[in-house]
Amino acid sequence: MADSFLELTRDDQRDALAVVAEGLGRPPELLEKDVWVVWVLDALSGLPDARNLVFKGGTSLSKAYGVIQRFSEDLDLTYDIRALGADLVEGHPNALPPSVTQANKWSKVLRMRLARWIHEDLCHHMHARIGQLPITLEPAEGERLLVHYEPLYTGTDYVKPTVVMEFGARGTAEPNAVCEIVCDASRASLDLVFPQAQVRTMSAERTFWEKLTAIHVACIQQRFRGSDRFSRHWYDLVQLHQAGIAENALNDISTGESVAAHKALFFRENDLTNNRIDYADVVSTGALHIVPDEPFLSELKTDFDAMCSAGLIEQAVDLDFETLMQACRSLEELIGKL
């Protein structure tokens, strides 16, 4: 019977990942972090209310669908609003509030309930799963739970020994399906068992619309809110286009309209002249901007170069910033024609 990677001594774990890293051409610290990403997903799948959680975002594109060739380290999850806010959505078949005012009220209630669930139910469950593993938990602001692990490798400032779980509870994350998640290291021919998980995951097509609208807002506002590691979204968009997912998503305008309706209520944004950004209009007309102007374009390049230098994009992917932006221009033209 093959040995479990997590049951090896730290020296043996380090040696095993060094062998895998050489074979795959990947930094060992990324392979190590990927092990903990999958372990966390497996732990989440064991929750009594796991059926209410949906895995989404860039990491889902990499781990569940294999349509992007970059390392994605944080976990974005939605707790189905129909479960956490059953009393709120009653009488609303689409699980959306009837007005912006109600959306604000719902958001306040849902954030309180979600924070309580993280601090009580989730932390209790995770502590029970940790056992003797070199892991500590840290609940954080913004409905997040940080999973710190004791690293085998020093790594870089860009890749920290922490898996961030960020939760939301203002949607249903539909459409979704259960996907199998495995560690990148399991691709190597070692007689070792690595963590794996079965996780309900949002469709890649909806993730495309989520990223497309977020990038549009960033281009309009000349900044990306919430993270200094934002170039990954542009990279993911291009990878989705090359994989054929973008075309599928653009032909499924109903999903785009669903994303627009949700963001118009829960994630309202203004342009630089303080006018409300009309998600429904840009989705229906295809007037979506994904190539920013200066100076934000230069900021995007700086972040993209840092991501590449940290080894987050697999070596087999030959993509520089200029090529990335040209691909974005082509995609922008395609969107405008639909």
**Residue spans per domain, the chain:** 3-202, 206-337
- Any idea which residue has 């509030």 for tokens? 97
Eight-state DSSP code of residue 187: G
Three-state secondary structure call for residue 313: strand
* Cα 267 off chain centre by: 17
Structure-block tokens of residue 3: 């040995």
What sign for the dihedral angle of Cα 330, 333, 337, 338?
Answer: positive
Q: Can you tell me the distance from the alpha carbon of 154 to that of 152, in angstroms, rounded to the nearest whole number?
A: 7
Q: Is 192 in contact with 7 (CB distance < 8 Å)?
A: no
Q: What is the pLDDT along the chain (338 residues), one digit of tens a residue?
A: 578 999 999 999 999 999 999 998 888 999 999 999 999 999 999 999 999 999 999 999 999 999 988 777 789 999 999 999 999 999 998 999 999 999 999 999 999 999 999 999 999 999 999 999 999 999 998 899 999 999 998 766 767 899 999 999 999 999 999 999 999 999 887 889 999 999 999 999 999 999 999 999 999 999 987 666 789 999 999 999 999 999 999 998 999 999 999 999 999 999 999 999 999 999 999 999 999 999 999 999 999 988 888 777 765 456 789 999 999 999 999 998 87
Q: Supply the pTM of this predicted model.
A: 0.92
Q: Can you tell me the distance from the alpha carbon of 164 to that of 161, in angstroms, rounded to the nearest whole number?
A: 10
| Helix, strand, coil content of the chain in percent (nearest 5) | 50, 15, 35
- Any idea which residue has 């892991």 for tokens? 135
- Any idea which residue has 């070692």 for tokens? 190
What's residue 154's pLDDT? 77
Eight-state DSSP code of residue 194: P
Q: Is 103 in contact with 85 (CB distance < 8 Å)?
A: no
Structure-block tokens of residue 160: 């920290």
What's residue 156's pLDDT? 65
